[in-house]
Amino acid sequence: MPERESAEPEIIHQDEHLLIVHKPPGLPTTAPHAGERSLVRWVSKRFVDLRPHATSRLDSQVSGLVTFALTTKANRTLLDARRAGTYQRVYLGVTIAEVLVESGDWGWPISIDPSNSKLRVAREGRGERAALTRYRVAARSPGATLLRLMPMTGRTHQIRVHAARSGSPLFGDHAYGGKRRAVMPDGTVVTARRVMLHCARLSFPSPSGGAQLQFDAPARRDMQTIWNALGGTASDLQP
């Protein structure tokens, strides 16, 4: 069965400067009201004395790695890494659209959707910001394509909007034109209850100096189940 939204976050790494958490789908990173369920609240309740600060965000439906800075030095290091282009992220996304070109760049600017300020569009407009996403086909199955996605900028809904503009919206991403159901050649119906997008890898300079740090997280069980149902194999879902 697909993983339930109530799955708990998992601590991937903790040291004096950083906390890396594997967020499950269905849990927002932040919430507008203090009492609402969120990853930030979950972390804050468990690390009261550390004052963790979320330096990255994932949409509620997206699973994967989220970074928390525990010190001013860590926060500054991560900000500097973003400016220098040494803060790197790798996402895995599933689309049931045909992807003809094996790799490339999506460089459309992203602006606020004029019909819904909570959404974004990949074109010029209000609040327009430059954006760049690199993609590569990681695997193909009879029912879908697995994309390896590397956002070079950090805009709201960037990967989702770029994928939709390219003609390959992510499976389950109803807000951006992605279908929620796929019919396999044998008639089997596969249903996605959330956006099939997962932050599988983070890499950035260590706040303590030295080598680049790298953290990996396997795709959540629901994504593994859906990819298998679409004809893929578990080994495909490696960052």
Q: Is 84 exposed, middle or buried (0-12, 13-18, 19+ CB in 10 A)?
A: exposed
Q: What pLDDT is recorded for position 5?
A: 44
Domain definitions of the chain by residue range: 10-233
Instruction: Report the CATH fold assignment for 10-233.
Output: Pseudouridine synthase (3.30.2350)
Whether the model pTM is above 0.85: yes
Radius of gyration for the alpha carbons in the chain, expressed in angstroms and rounded: 18
The answer to whether 71 and 17 have CB atoms below 8 angstroms apart is yes
Q: Coil, strand or helix: which one is 44?
A: helix
The answer to whether 97 and 163 have CB atoms below 8 angstroms apart is no
Q: What pLDDT is recorded for position 32?
A: 73
Residue owning tokens 């809904």: 157
Q: What is the mean pLDDT of each run of 10 residues along the chain (239 residues)?
A: 62 95 95 83 88 92 96 94 93 96 98 96 96 97 96 96 98 97 93 97 91 94 96 91
* Token pair belonging to 164: 């939709």
Smallest Cα–Cα separation from 214: which of 32, 35, 20, 83? Answer: 20
Write the Ramachandran bin of 167: left for phi over 0, alpha for psi from -120 to 50, otherwise beta.
left
Q: What pLDDT is recorded for position 236?
A: 93
Q: What pLDDT is recorded for position 21?
A: 97
Determine the Cα–Cα distance for residues 48 and 133; give it in Å rounded to an integer: 36
Distance, first Cα to last Cα, the chain: 23
Q: Quickly list DSSP for 100-145.
A: -SSEEEE---BEE-TT-TTSEESSS-TT-B---EEEEEEEE-SS-E
Smallest Cα–Cα separation from 91: which of 132, 144, 146? Answer: 146
Q: What pLDDT is recorded for position 2?
A: 42
- Measured between alpha carbons, how far is residue 192 from residues 66, 108, 174, 179, 236 in Å? 23, 27, 10, 8, 18
Give the number of other CB atoms < 10 A from CB of residue 183: 12
